[in-house]
Amino acid sequence: MRSVRRCSRTGCANPAVATLTYAYADSTAVVGPLATYSEPHSYDLCEEHALRLTAPRGWEVVRHQGEFRAPEPTVDDLTALAEAVREAGRADRPVPPEVPAGTIRRGHLRVLPDPNED
């Protein structure tokens, strides 16, 4: 399921409705509808920041002319949520294996002891 994405601007907790991407070769900042996925080289913006964005001198801002709206849940999102809830509630769900003695856990990683060491 898609989680609510927040505006990338520091101190802003509003939900994101637009995505800002820079086209450096063209000296252009592009503000469009919220991208489906958060990308490492783009920025999610709330409506206020999407409408007020300015670019450095010599740069052009290309802005989406329609309304910026928060994305609504899709059938895929609702189906994924329903499947996750069903899976978590299954009675026949496999039990995780026991962790061997001497195992060190760090997040999702485990360091297993070397069986050849004494």
Which pLDDT belongs to residue 112?
A: 62
Give the C-alpha separation, 61 to 21, whole Å: 10
Q: Give just the sign of the alpha carbon dihedral 87, 88, 93, 96.
A: positive
Which pLDDT belongs to residue 1?
A: 42
Q: What is the pTM of this model?
A: 0.57
Which pLDDT belongs to residue 31?
A: 92
Edge to edge, the sheet with strand 60-63 lists 42-45, 18-23, 28-33, 60-63
Pairing of strands 28-33, 60-63: parallel
Which pLDDT belongs to residue 13?
A: 92
Mean pLDDT per 10-residue run, the chain (118 residues)?
78 93 89 85 92 92 80 63 65 62 57 64
3-state secondary structure of 16: coil
Give the C-alpha separation, 52 to 31, whole Å: 11
Which pLDDT belongs to residue 8?
A: 94
